Structure 1
Amino acid sequence: MDPLSQAVLGATAAQTIGDKKNLAKATVIGALAGMAADLDVLINSPSDSLLALEYHRHFSHSLIFIPLGALICALLLYALLGRYWQLRFKPTYLYCLLGYATHGLLDACTSYGTQLLWPFSNYRVSWDIISIIDPLFTLPLLILIVLAAKRKQRAFVYCAVAWCAMYLSLGVLQHERAMLVANDLISKRGHSANHIEVKPSFANLLVWKIIYQSDDHYYVAATRLGISSKVWPGESIRRLDRQRDLAWLDNASQQAKDIERFRWFSAGFIALDPNNPYQIIDMRYSMLPNKIAPLWGIRLNPNAAANEHVQFYAEPRKASPRAAPLWQMIKE
């Protein structure tokens, strides 16, 4: 999730073991440790733009790395803050351990994919129960941890933990409801689906995106899950077949290998951009959940050398006219 969400959840976890006089210290240390795993964004290559995708949410987010990641954070924060605050190393490490431990688990609650089981598996865990940014999850936690630190009252910590548990549980419930809607939609269409995903749309748990594969096509739709459910039919696109769609591409080339790397990153949901035959899109994400309008993809070069990489691209992040229709879907 976004850095602020990671920070407030890390702080919340650290506050659960902080005594009243050290609640503020636990908050700061837990917040910093809660964000630390995302330092993997520094791993990149000017010639291989997919390297950053491969190593984001990689070893630094795995369960087995938590004690070591926490130790690195503790050593740094103890040197910078612990002695100045007259805080012993043991509680510093414990605050870091709890804060760091929340990071990969919270990321796994989103749909991006997190390698929790590295090095035993490179499977990208994605439980799809919360959007990558959700103010309704983050802001109440932020308010509660600030109140706990400022007033030195653990009651606010308990409220923060309860809010976190309740909101994520609501995400689990909404995910199950969305899956029921998806299966019903697939049945009504007479499709046979072998790959179905449902995920919350941007910044809310009301409107969900439905994605599924039937034969050689991917289909998207959206549903609003209030007291009752509403469905918006979506669009479809042919799944990528490298031999059919990119017959010009040498199978031994680096670009062909990069396509398979991107397929792994995208959980298989890749297709040829209908507007550009040299672009491959990750169709899991779009501002409007019932549309195929990808946020990112990779760009091929038919004149590239055999060892040349593809180029990852992302659509510009600016105010979008699609935000208004999404808000309308949420309000309905």
Structure 2
Amino acid sequence: MGNALRLLYGQCCGEPPTTTTAHGGAGDQPLGHHGVSSSSVGVSALAQHLYHFEITSQVPEGLSKHVSSSKKAQSNWYKKLSKAWRESKPPPKTPEEASRLVIRILHTRQIADIQGLLSFYGLPLPHSLVELTGGDAPSVVDGLKFVLHTLPVDPRAVADGDGATVYVSTSDTRESSRVPPEIQMAAVERNEARAQRNFTKADKLLKQIKDAGYGVLHINNEEILARKYRIRLRGIDAPENAMPYGKEAKDELVRIIDGKCLKILIFDEDQYGRFVGDMYCNGIFVQKLMLKKGLAWHYTAYDKRPELAKWEKSARDKRIGLWASSNPEMPWEWRKNRRENR
């Protein structure tokens, strides 16, 4: 069994040393941060420790500083991981592949233990393991213009990882006095046309409603006239859809707000007519979650809030999401290069 893992180790990372490295024996390589050999990457260190475990049934000494489970539980992890590593064809070669294997095998364990194990080897933490937590949102600063309380969000209205279209009912206190009389009349006439099965007239009236920036939503078997708002999340810049991690960023924003009613604090309107604001979903500050999951940059050109910088740094340090890449491209540079055809 040890020979099989030794062969896989050699295919992935070169021939393992003939002396052990996990416990500081003679001839060992010096261990660096989190127990990973200073002359190797986390993938080779993990493979080396799994090989060592198959020979000695011992786990690395330093691991207990990063996980809360007992040595017996740790041994069970390494037994399962070594078996999965041997059966992988080919074995993991990149940090991302090694992380995926660890998570696949240990998915029933405590998230903190998985995080600790990955951290021990300097392996990236996938954004899916970052928990949804509330609190710690920035305090509201000067410049707040108004607050939106939206109807449930349609996932198809999420444009990318930092933008979405939302609707606010015209029965809302702020909106009710702002509806143009002709739009109110168009909504009434449309209902009458539909009742008379005059769908051509109804469609024409619906186009008039939409052209004015409104929509008719069907919620709980009820039609609701609502104002449309295009929202740009304030203070973050997610990868564009065509960029690496662009799809993951969009999918994560969909997962957070799909079908939810949101509270959005509006501070500005950008050059594209989008309202720039802070988004809250069930008390969760959405920008915080996108940053901590490593699916957005802190957009420092437009936002200097230290909390956002802290959340981005947290993801960077753990190599979560896009920070698993050694040199991820900044979305504003990507857009500039596209504009200049570079």
TM-score interval, smaller chain: under 0.3
TM-score normalized by structure 1?
Answer: 0.22
TM-score normalised to the size of structure 2?
Answer: 0.21
Higher relative contact order (CA 8 A, sep 6+): 2
